[in-house]
């Protein structure tokens, strides 16, 4: 049911050439030079940022599958100044994490967090479950994290839930992780061997 178009690294052109050449590839990695005028993605050049995020996503999938993803989200919230409670493994009644700012966690916003690390996009019933949990726990806001994204039925609810719920997909989670990486606890940073790399923006090449 999923349709996608692979555009990076001249994928379409390379496959057509391979089909004409008995499926033998003569591909050479593209170089970035001063003649590049379009963005890397539009021109088929190597998108370094996207490549790095794909590598990080692969690493996180292997290391933080299942309940481990909730631990990763908890670490991000802690780095942002939230005090958290993480539910033990097993049935979670629609909530993986509870979070609130302040030294004792009594300040607002009080947040219910549901984390889905599976390979299926989250659907509307999961969102409804989170909203119900927010009422049960007296939370003002909700955070729904889905490693595999969201179905259209969830996206349609975004306007109605704008002041109550936020959604993090894979890219959003990685962005949040990188943004607060320096503030993570040393133990978790040791598990995440990331390195900041500076590069020239494609528009300036």
> pLDDT digits over 143-192, tens only?
999 999 999 999 999 999 999 999 999 999 999 999 999 999 999 999 99
- The average confidence (pLDDT) of the chain is 86
28 versus 190: which is more confidently predicted?
A: 190
At residue 64, the 3 state secondary structure works out as: coil
Question: Where are the chain's structural domains?
Answer: 7-24+45-63, 66-191
Residue for token pair 């593209």: 30
160: which 2 tokens? 């109605």
Range from 39-43, 49-53, 159-163, 199-203 that averages highest in pLDDT: 159-163
Q: Rounded to whole angstroms, how far apart are CA atoms 92 and 90?
A: 6
The CA distances from residue 87 to 40, 67, 68, 110, 198, in Å, are 43, 10, 12, 16, 38
| pLDDT computed for residue 7 by the predictor | 64
168: part of which helix (H) or strand (E)?
strand 165-168
Q: Rounded to whole angstroms, how far apart are CA atoms 181 and 54?
A: 17
Band (200; pLDDT cuts 50, 70, 90): confident
Band (43; pLDDT cuts 50, 70, 90): very low
Residue 152 — φ and ψ, nearest 5°? -60, -30
| pLDDT computed for residue 153 by the predictor | 95
Handedness of CA 114, 180, 55, 3 (dihedral sign): positive
Arithmetic mean of pLDDT, 31-53: 60
Domain 66-191, architecture per CATH: 3-Layer(aba) Sandwich (3.40)
> pLDDT digits over 110-157, tens only?
999 999 999 999 999 999 999 999 999 999 999 999 999 999 999 999
> What is the per-residue DSSP string for 82-136?
EEEEEPPSS--TT-SEEEEESSSS-SS--EEEEEE-SSS-B-HHHHHHHHHHHHH
Q: Rounded to whole angstroms, how far apart are CA atoms 155 and 149?
A: 10
Arithmetic mean of pLDDT, 18-30: 69
109 versus 32: which is more confidently predicted?
A: 109
| pLDDT computed for residue 204 by the predictor | 56
| pLDDT computed for residue 168 by the predictor | 98
> What is the per-residue DSSP string for 10-32?
GHHHHHHHHHHTTT-----PPPP
134 versus 200: which is more confidently predicted?
A: 134
12 versus 144: which is more confidently predicted?
A: 144
Asked if 109 and 136 touch (Cβ cutoff 8 Å), the reply is no
Largest pairwise CA distance in the chain: 66
8: which 2 tokens? 């990076």
């Amino acid at each position: 049911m999923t349709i996608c178009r692979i555009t990076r690294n001249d994928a379409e052109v390379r496959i057509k050439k391979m089909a004409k050449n008995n499926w033998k590839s003569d591909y050479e990695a593209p170089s970035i030079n001063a003649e590049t005028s379009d963005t890397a993605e539009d021109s088929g050049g190597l998108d370094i940022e996207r490549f790095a995020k794909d590598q990080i996503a692969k690493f996180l999938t292997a290391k933080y599958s299942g309940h481990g993803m909730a631990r990763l989200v908890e670490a991000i919230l802690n780095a942002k100044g939230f005090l958290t409670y993480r539910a033990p493994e097993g049935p979670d009644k629609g909530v993986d994490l509870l979070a609130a700012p302040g030294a004792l966690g009594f300040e607002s916003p009080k947040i219910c967090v549901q984390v889905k690390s599976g390979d299926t996009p989250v659907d509307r019933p999961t969102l409804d479950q989170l909203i119900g949990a927010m009422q049960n726990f007296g939370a003002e806001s909700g955070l729904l994290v889905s490693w595999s994204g969201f179905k259209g039925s969830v996206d349609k609810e975004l306007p109605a839930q704008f002041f109550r719920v936020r959604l993090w997909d894979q890219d959003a989670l990685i962005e949040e992780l990188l943004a607060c990486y320096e503030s993570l606890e040393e133990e978790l940073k040791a598990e995440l061997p990331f390195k900041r790399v500076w590069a020239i923006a494609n528009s300036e090449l």
